[in-house]
A = this chain, B = another copy of it.
């Protein structure tokens, strides 16, 4: 191994973001939208790690229908670094393919795997944590970033830390004791009170060699498919071969397939203002509120409203007497729901699918 292995970023940009309908649509989902700022989430995800990882070592993996828009949004990144996954098979194959591609270019590479649709408010803290994680990864560990929980959230999986392994650049590195499923509220409260649990953010750091080795051991079917792609890497046939082989790739998430089963997994606690932007309620929480707790964007009139999120994209949204409501207006559709039902917005999308209303998807 080189003494200073280079860092590569892989940004997973294949999500759907149905809970952010009607702004997030099939043709332009969450990660390709400027949901909480001027930049799109994908553009910001790439930009925020650029101080550590230059554009030519940043990769984006997305689906064919979003690739042109993704390339346009990250124009600093070489075009060939935007990889198309023919079909979504979960994070396992996706990360495996990217590890393979980067390994082909640099066998000593350290890979930082990020989601294109998460918000991180303290970007300096992220860079600091990533350096610690890279150090641990260089030592052979599979590293996961564990978000210091700010509340007993039941929508995330949790990581229980084990013994302290090291302390590098001001951050602790713990062995992972256990990954847990999304807990009930009582369990979540106990986790937060305990102090030894973190949210599983799905951000990982490892050497490409280590993750491929673990795939070989734990997901041999997937590994075998990846090895069939290997000879075509960098050639004109690359896309065509990926396309052909991808149909036979098993569906598996990196958490279930690797992280929960691998032996040498460590966690670096990260207090970075992370949010998965999983709902409109989440978006509202990331934006500045007025004295009544409202977030009001675009043309609006809001009389006697509290704790309400209005986002208009041109037309006038008028509310009176609203409490804890979400109103999202787009050119062809408007969403209205209470904040505590924000997770159910995906059910609207499901209903539209059932009704065959393609124009709204």
Contacts and interface: CB of A to CB of B under 8 A. Distances in A.
A333 B315 contact: yes
Given A318-B334, A320-B337, 15 more contacts: A21-B318, A22-B316, A301-B352, A303-B344, A303-B347, A304-B344, A315-B331, A315-B332, A315-B333, A316-B332, A317-B333, A320-B345, A320-B347, A321-B341, A322-B337
A313 to B, nearest CB: 12
Contacts of A315: 331-334
A304 B360 CA distance: 20
Contacts of A357: 316
A20 to B, nearest CB: 13
Interface string A345-359: 101100110010100
A352 to B, nearest CB: 6
Contacts of A5: none
Interface in A302-331: 303-304, 315-322, 325, 327, 329, 331
Q: Range of interface residues on chain A? A: 35 or more
A336 B351 contact: no
Contacts of A183: none
A334 B315 CA distance: 8
A321 B303 contact: no
Contact of A336 (B22, B333, B336, B348): B336
A318 B341 contact: no
B334 A334 contact: yes
A322 B332 CA distance: 20
Interface in A98-117: none
Interface of A: 21-22, 301, 303-304, 315-322, 325, 327, 329, 331-338, 340-341, 344-345, 347-348, 351-352, 355, 357, 360
11 contacts: A304-B341, A315-B333, A315-B334, A316-B334, A318-B333, A318-B348, A320-B347, A321-B341, A325-B336, A327-B334, A327-B336
Contacts of A341: 304, 320-321
Q: Which 8 A-B pairs have the closest CB atoms?
A: A321-B341, A316-B333, A320-B337, A320-B344, A319-B336, A318-B348, A318-B335, A301-B351
Contacts of A304: 341, 344
A348 B303 contact: yes
B338 A22 contact: no
A318 B325 CA distance: 13
A101 to B, nearest CB: 40
A302 to B, nearest CB: 9
Contacts of A301: 348, 351-352, 355
Nearest to A335: B318
B360 A316 contact: yes
Contact of A338 (B21, B321, B344, B351): B321
A347 B301 CA distance: 10
B337 A319 contact: yes
A322 B324 CA distance: 12
Contacts of A332: 315-316
